[in-house]
Structure 1
Amino acid sequence: MSKYPHVLYEVKDRIATITLNRPDRLNAYNDQLATGIRLAMADASKDPAVRVIVLTGAGRGFCAGADMDVLQAVPTDSAGAANRQASRATGDVGDAFKHKYGPNLDAEFGDMQRFAYFMRTQKPIIAAINGPAAGIGLIMTLYCDMRFVSDKAVLTTSFAQRGLIAEHGISWLLPRLIGPAHTLDILLSARKFSPQEAKEMGLVNKVFAADTFMHNVMTYAGLLANTVSPRSMAVMKAQVWKSYFQDFEQALKTADAEMPPSFVWPDFKEGVSHFLEKRAPKFADI
């Protein structure tokens, strides 16, 4: 059996690509897939050869949401349903998501939250939404740092049409990304919406043509992997997610605390040197 259940994992040119690999089910989500994603993310997080992580789907879909076979098997009595809700990804990842750079996020994004370890991963995570993303598949992308989407994709929350609620932190994340009005629209209606509408809402960063989609995603990922400091990215990512829990003064204090150490990093000296010498940077891996 693969080390990463239902997941393909590849590292190339400082980019780890994690591919959800149940194409016959549009990469529908189950506990095995959850485990595969977590184990792959842990390895990417620990690997100094990785500077950027891209999360995408095999075949024509990103993730069609929860596997309907799993949903049909959920007990409808309250005790059984509670036990099902508690089911999580398995597999020991050790200290893969241990805090190293920037403000500590352990208190805000703990292990009990399904995808919160995405925030604690100190490398940027790009969701490459190559096709339909529904329900928990859409939620997964919200925990990523950026979202790029194919113009052939379709997006939906879907929960209200299944008689469910706003799951896995989406009621907290969505309003912070797109505001309460757009949030309530796509949650309450559970309607399908286009990549272009998602872009207009501010839900995704870029919409790319399907035939050049992964090329464009990897070009951007390569920009991050090869031209900027991994330490800088780690600290700034932590600053931004920490700021969700801070007021303006607290965010300023965090920046003031992080600035002095940045001046003594080798990356600061290299950042100045490569600019003055007009050459490609040689930043240290993390």
Structure 2
Amino acid sequence: MTDVLVAPTQAGVARVTLNRPERHNAWTVGMQAAYFTALEELAADPDVRVIVVTGAGDTFCPGADTEALSRYSETGTTNPAMALIEQPEWYPALVPKPMIAAISGMCAGVGLAQALLCDLRIAAPDTRFTTAFAKRALPPMHGMVPLLTRVAGDAAAAELLLTARTFSGDEALRLGVVTSVSENPLAQATELAERIAATCAPTSLMTMKQALLAPWLPRIEEAVTRVDATLDAVLGSAEFREGLDSLLERRPPAFPGLRIDPTH
């Protein structure tokens, strides 16, 4: 089974499905490589005007796969295969065609980042969103701070990051995290994509997307680079181990207090 499925293009619309239903589409390095490769191929296909991204089954993406996180905790570093991925971590934002995320079930951590890298987001009202990182003792990975600030503003982004609480699709709409809600997000996303493909000029869409993202791309790149430089220290920490153990054991985490070196 491939981690990503690409449906045949119809009416100018391509559908990309995150496809690890046995793990609720949890994110892995292999999935990232397959997803970015699929996007690169669709970006080069003149028959594709709009891309819809969804998840197999009833979940978009609950975040990083816990089996992968366990290996990171054991080794104290990320998967070396990540270095083989040619595209940058924010690659979906560079795709010169509109991308619409159809979201249901759980959308957390890196899954939320992937949704935010799309241009439009349609969610089921009962979708469960969370930034998740603080409860796992992780920094705001995948450019989450600028991505969330871009759609929800500074105050809402701060609250969602610092609490790591779960919020619904309906609340996500009120906050600006998604652009609409629907009982059938995939059907609505597909209908919207077909309408855009049929009525909007591809070059105009490309330039509009580039203009919308231009103020944010440097911030996203800087955020990713800064966080990635700290990851080995984080993944080898007792805090991260506790954050992961609490997730696996389905209990509240018991983190130690913060100790600050006064010499730094």
Structure-2-length-normalised TM-score:
0.77
Which has more radius of gyration? 1
- 1: distance between equivalents of 2:122 and 2:57? 17
Query: Cα distance, 1:153 vs. partner?
Result: 1.2
- 1: distance between equivalents of 2:205 and 2:45? 16
Query: Cα distance, 1:188 vs. partner?
Result: 1.2
Counterpart contact for 1:38–1:89, Cα < 8 Å: no
Structure-1-length-normalised TM-score:
0.71
- Which ranges of structure 1 fall in alignment gaps of 5 or more residues? 93-110, 247-286
Q: What do residues 60-85 of structure 1 show as CA deviations (whole Å, max 9, x unaligned)?
A: 100010000000111467xx42xx17
1:161 aligns with 2:144: no
Alignment of 1:1-286 (within 5 A): 5-10=2-7, 11-75=9-73, 80-81=76-77, 84=78, 87-88=81-82, 90=84, 111=87, 113-114=88-89, 116-209=90-183, 212-244=184-216
Q: What do residues 6-43 of structure 1 show as CA deviations (whole Å, max 9, x unaligned)?
A: 01101222111000001111100001111110111011
Counterpart contact for 1:30–1:67, Cα < 8 Å: yes
The one of the two structures with greater contact order (alpha-carbon pairs below 8 A, sep at least 6) is 2
Counterpart contact for 1:35–1:89, Cα < 8 Å: no
Query: Cα distance, 1:245 vs. partner?
Result: 6.8
- 2: distance between equivalents of 1:90 and 1:63? 23
- Which ranges of structure 2 fall in alignment gaps of 5 or more residues? 219-264
- The count of aligned residue pairs is 217
Q: What do residues 224-272 of structure 1 show as CA deviations (whole Å, max 9, x unaligned)?
A: 11111011101111111114379xxxxxxxxxxxxxxxxxxxxxxxxxx
How large is the Cα RMSD of the aligned pairs?
A: 1.9
Counterpart contact for 1:61–1:132, Cα < 8 Å: yes
Counterpart contact for 1:34–1:89, Cα < 8 Å: no
